[in-house]
């Protein structure tokens, strides 16, 4: 019997290891697929074209190097994978509320659970973020993330290992707090990585007056989080702005900064259109 128990334990360990390897591969693929295209488009191939949309017009020379951002993010993804593997072990033991049969709660609940996770994550992140800015915590942990004063997409998970562990704890809360289908977790994972990458893009891709729309003003555009990196103490929200508005932690010049970017965009487009028109007229005159 003892030998059988050891064999079962070994088989379970191998299963968890296999799960961990595949989880890490999937995490790396999601991160790579969502960061690399944004980086190549905005930071490499079309950076001149999108210069007017750059939130900080000039690259801050004191900002953490992109190579270091990637290294830090890789460590964070590894920590996320370890937590995922431990959650999987807990699931095998029947300790979590994770489920795999959609019929157990139905499709409407599965979709609704993704929304619940997003809103809960936003609230948990806000208060965890405020905690990370406590003077006794910031210099030892969160400052690593803020070394990217002018972040690139690769800064999305550029954390100190302890902060990465705290961020991963949110996964644990969801696994034990409410019934969640694995598909809902993966959907949330893709959504949160996408929005996190956009938040650290360094370029404003949301449209003009987005920040003043009666509904969309509660969604954080790229400028909102970029200002947090540049000015540190304010704009703590992840997906939404309402907690910053409620607790008055939103930078007072946030709307002006956002509007100024779009003024630059309009000026740039106007200059481009004028140049195109003049060039067309010149070419036409040459033909005559």
Q: How far apart are CA 222 and CA 89, in angstroms?
A: 37
Look at residue 15 in the predicted model and tell me its pLDDT: 82
Cα–Cα–Cα angle for 258, 263, 265, rounded to 5 degrees? 100
Backbone angles phi, psi at 239, to 5 degrees: -95, -35
Q: What pLDDT score was predicted for residue 153? A: 96
Q: How many CB atoms lie within 10 A of CB 286?
A: 7
Q: Which domain holds residue 182?
A: 2-287
Residues with Cβ within 8 Å of 30's Cβ and at least 6 positions away in sequence, in order, are 189, 190, 193
Q: How far, in Å, CA of 230 to CA of 250, rounded?
A: 13
Residues 153, 223, 195, 24: is their CA dihedral positive or negative? positive
- Counting the structural domains of the chain, the total is 1
Place of tokens 């959650």: 87
Residue 146 contacts residue 60 (beta carbons within 8 Å)? no
pLDDT at residue 270, as a whole number: 80
DSSP code per residue over 176-232: HHS-EEHHHHHHHHHHHHHHHHHHTSSB--SPTTGGGSTTGGGB--HHHHHHHHHH-
Kindly give the confidence (pLDDT) of every residue in the chain, 288 residues in length, as a single tens digit, with 9 standing for 90 and above. 454 454 445 547 788 888 889 999 999 999 999 999 999 999 999 999 999 999 998 776 666 788 999 999 999 999 999 999 999 888 888 899 999 999 999 999 999 999 999 999 999 999 999 999 999 999 999 999 999 999 999 999 999 999 999 999 888 888 998 999 999 999 999 999 999 999 999 999 999 999 999 999 999 999 999 999 999 999 999 999 999 999 999 999 999 999 999 999 999 888 766 756 666 666 666 655
User: What pLDDT does residue 16 have?
Assistant: 81
Between CA 48 and CA 224 the distance in angstroms is: 22
Give the span between the Cα atoms of 185 and 191, in whole angstroms: 10
Partnered with residue 240 across adjacent β-strands are: 219
Q: If you count DSSP H runs as helices and E runs as strands, how many of each does the chain have, helices first?
A: 10, 2
pLDDT for 32 equals: 96
On the 0-12 / 13-18 / 19+ scale of CB atoms within 10 A, 87 is buried
What does the pLDDT read at residue 59? 74
Report the distance separating Cα 201 and Cα 220, nearest Å: 13
What pLDDT is stored for residue 287 in this prediction?
59
pLDDT of residue 3: 45
């Amino acid at each position: 019997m003892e030998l059988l128990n050891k064999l079962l334990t070994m088989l379970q360990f191998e299963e968890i290891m296999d799960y961990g390897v595949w989880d890490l591969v999937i995490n790396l693929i999601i991160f790579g697929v969502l960061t690399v295209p944004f980086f190549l488009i905005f930071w490499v191939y079309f950076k001149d074209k999108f210069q007017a949309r750059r939130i900080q017009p000039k690259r801050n020379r004191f900002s953490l190097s992109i190579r270091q951002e990637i290294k830090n993010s890789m460590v964070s993804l590894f920590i996320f994978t370890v937590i995922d593997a431990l959650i999987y072990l807990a699931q095998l033991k029947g300790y979590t509320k994770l489920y795999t049969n959609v019929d157990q709660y139905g499709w409407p609940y599965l979709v609704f659970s993704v929304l619940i996770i997003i809103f809960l994550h936003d609230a948990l992140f806000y208060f965890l973020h405020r905690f990370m800015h406590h003077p006794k915590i910031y210099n030892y942990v969160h400052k690593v993330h803020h070394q990217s004063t002018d972040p690139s997409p690769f800064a999305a998970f550029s954390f100190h290992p302890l902060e990465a562990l705290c961020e991963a704890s949110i996964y644990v809360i969801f696994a034990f707090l409410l019934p969640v289908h694995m598909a809902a977790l993966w959907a949330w994972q893709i959504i949160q990585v996408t929005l996190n990458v956009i938040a650290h893009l360094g370029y404003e891709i949301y449209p003009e007056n987005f920040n003043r729309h009666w509904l969309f003003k509660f969604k954080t555009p790229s400028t909102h989080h970029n200002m947090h990196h540049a000015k540190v103490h304010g704009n703590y929200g992840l997906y939404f702005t309402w907690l910053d508005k409620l607790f008055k932690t939103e930078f007072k010049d946030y709307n002006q900064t956002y509007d100024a970017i779009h003024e630059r965009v309009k000026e740039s487009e106007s200059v481009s259109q004028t140049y195109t028109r003049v060039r067309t007229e010149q070419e036409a005159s040459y033909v005559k």
